């Protein structure tokens, strides 16, 4: 084997191990070198070497254990309190930017994943690409100003879009799904506005990463994050890693066929799942029923108050979505489906019909193996995933 190949393999392994150490520190807060070795399965010498690098880079600091740490059973060597390690929140900041179809959310966090500020703005994202990028840069500047932070402390930004992403080019893959963004070098445009490195990802993938790292999917190796909002997408987390497909099109769940004679979809096909179960067509049905304009939030509030029309459309949406999820269970056999997005607020009104359809239409063994649960991060899942792309960029889960 050539020397360069060996060196490259060793460097890749070191990057993976570094990610494991950072994740242990993120998860445990303050932890000793010995505890890191036990948590990660790495040798003490490897942990010491990696920790030395992280301290040298200013990402990790040493702290003397206090009384509360002794209470957790940490032994004192020679009567001296042990030295614990922690991520240094002041070492840098991360920006998270999440574009939905009709809104934009931007957040600022330190390196311990504590969110320092967050903003949301309604926006016609699908067609106003450059205006959306300008708005995101403006909101990021406002957050930095409010936090009293200099821009040079920002180590990077993660950004999510509601469409398929070509990671090789940093561009949107589909003219039909995001017409205003097609052909634009989104990554380069955002980097020019922010002055920092930007990592671009599909928004449902970010939701999957966030729920896998922080939320309902912690510890799971195979999960599907189903985002039900103004559009519908799925983040596929398989074998402990994000699955994007050959050209980034994996997870375009809103465009699976439900009825070939159904309504015309924005993608150009007829009868896609989005035309039956996404927020806008559901709200339009309730608007027609009540003979007055009804937003997605209005519809959810009406359903919570017992309005029969609003409840019926959400139940039907769960039932239709569950049939498509059943097909996904037959194909991928996930252990967990996490439902997030704006419509997830409906809770069991939406989820019970969805579960019922999975039980009815999936192969029994696949149906028995899967749990369908609500996400715990709410509408913030995607922006938290965007932050995690930066904060945990050495972690193989976020590559």
User: Does one domain contain both 225 and 368?
Assistant: yes
Angle at which helices 296-304 and 308-332 cross, to 10°: 100
- Taking only the tens of pLDDT, the chain with its 399 residues reads 443 434 446 666 777 788 788 778 877 778 899 999 998 999 999 999 999 988 887 778 888 766 455 445 555 555 567 789 987 777 789 999 999 888 899 999 988 788 999 999 988 877 788 999 999 999 999 999 999 998 888 989 999 998 888 777 777 877 777 778 888 889 999 999 999 999 999 999 999 999 998 899 988 889 999 999 989 999 999 988 889 888 888 899 999 999 999 999 988 999 999 999 999 999 999 999 999 999 999 999 999 999 999 999 999 999 999 999 999 999 999 999 999 999 999 999 999 999 999 999 999 999 999 999 999 999 899 999 999 888 876 555 555
pLDDT of residue 21: 86
Domain boundary among 58, 91, 124: 91
Q: Are residues 356 and 223 in the same domain?
A: yes
Domain membership flag for residue 291: yes
| Domain co-membership, 131 together with 177 | yes
Position 213 in a domain: no
Which among 202, 213, 231 has a CA at the least distance from the CA of 343?
231
Same domain membership, residue 361 and residue 228: yes
**247 & 368 share domain:** yes
Torsion sign, CA atoms 305, 309, 311, 314: negative
Q: 261-292 burial by CB neighbour count: b if 16+ within 10 A, else e? A: eeeebbbeeebbbbbbbbbbebbebbbebeee
Pick from 40, 67, 91: which residue ends a domain?
91
- Domain residue limits at 51: 3-91
Tokens of residue 223, six digits: 């999960």
Do 188 and 247 sit in the same domain of this protein? Answer: no
Q: Model pTM?
A: 0.78
Residue 237 lies in a domain: yes
Are 49 and 97 in the same domain? no
State how beta strands 198-202 and 154-161 pair.
Answer: parallel
- Provide the CATH number for the domain around residue 109: 3.30.420.40
Q: Are residues 225 and 371 in the same domain?
A: yes
CA distances from 392 to 22, 27, 30, 67, 214 (A): 8, 12, 17, 30, 12
For residue 212, is it within any domain?
no
In a domain, 257, yes or no: yes
Residues 352 and 225 in one domain: yes
- Do residues 231 and 144 share a domain? no
Which is it for the CA torsion 287, 293, 295, 298, positive or negative?
negative
CATH number of the domain that residue 37 is part of = 1.10.10.10
How confident is the model at residue 1, as a pLDDT?
A: 40
Q: Are the CB atoms for 35 and 28 separated by under 8 Å?
A: yes
List all residues 6 or more positions away from 188 whose beta carbon is below 8 Å from its beta carbon: 170
User: Are 255 and 308 found together in one domain?
Assistant: yes
Could you give the residue ranges of the DSSP H alpha helices within the chain?
Answer: 3-28, 33-40, 44-56, 67-70, 129-147, 186-194, 203-214, 273-277, 279-290, 296-304, 308-332, 348-361, 364-369, 381-391
With beta carbons less than 8 A apart as the criterion, state whether 320 and 258 touch. Answer: yes
Q: Map 68-135 to HEC letters.
A: HHHCCCCCCECCECCEEEEECHHHCEEEEEEECCCEEEEEEEECCCCEEEEEEEECCCCCCHHHHHHH
Number of domains, the chain = 3
Question: Do 259 and 196 share a structural domain?
Answer: no
For residue 66, is it within any domain?
Answer: yes
């Amino acid at each position: 084997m050539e020397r360069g190949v060996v060196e490259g393999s060793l460097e890749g392994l070191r990057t993976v191990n570094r990610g494991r150490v950072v994740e242990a520190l993120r998860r445990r807060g303050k932890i000793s070198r010995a505890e890191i070795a036990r948590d990660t399965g790495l040798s003490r010498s490897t942990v010491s070497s990696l920790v030395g690098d992280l301290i040298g880079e200013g990402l990790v600091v040493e702290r003397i254990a206090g009384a509360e740490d002794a209470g957790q059973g940490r032994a004192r060597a020679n009567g001296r309190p042990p030295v614990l390690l922690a991520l240094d929140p002041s070492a840098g900041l991360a920006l998270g930017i999440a574009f939905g179809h009709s809104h934009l959310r931007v957040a600022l966090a330190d390196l311990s994943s504590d969110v320092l500020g967050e903003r949301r703005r309604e926006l016609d994202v699908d067609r106003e690409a450059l205006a959306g990028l300008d708005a995101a840069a403006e909101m990021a500047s406002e957050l930095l100003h409010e936090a009293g932070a200099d821009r040079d402390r920002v180590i990077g930004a993660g950004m999510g879009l509601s469409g398929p992403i070509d990671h090789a080019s940093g561009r949107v893959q589909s003219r039909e799904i995001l017409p205003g963004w097609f052909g634009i070098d989104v990554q380069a445009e955002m980097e020019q506005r922010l002055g920092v490195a930007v990592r671009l990802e599909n928004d449902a993938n970010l939701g999957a990463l966030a729920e896998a790292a922080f939320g309902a999917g912690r510890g799971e190796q195979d999960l599907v994050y189903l985002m039900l909002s103004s559009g519908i997408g799925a983040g596929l987390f398989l074998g402990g890693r994000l699955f994007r497909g050959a050209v980034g099109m994996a997870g375009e769940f809103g465009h699976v066929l439900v009825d070939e004679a159904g309504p015309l979809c924005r993608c150009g096909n007829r009868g896609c799942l989005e035309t039956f179960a996404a927020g806008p067509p559901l709200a339009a049905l309730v608007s027609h029923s009540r003979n007055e304009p009804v937003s997605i939030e209005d519809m959810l509030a009406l359903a919570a108050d017992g309005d029969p029309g609003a409840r019926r459309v959400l139940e039907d949406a769960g039932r239709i979505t569950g049939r498509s999820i059943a097909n996904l269970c037959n194909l991928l056999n996930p252990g967990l489906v996490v439902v997030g997005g704006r419509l997830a607020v409906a809770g069991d009104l939406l989820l019970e019909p969805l579960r019922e359809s999975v039980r009815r239409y999936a192969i029994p063994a696949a149906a028995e193996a899967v749990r369908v649960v609500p996400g715990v991060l709410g509408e913030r899942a995607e922006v938290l995933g965007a932050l995690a792309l930066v904060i945990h960029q050495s972690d193989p889960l976020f590559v």
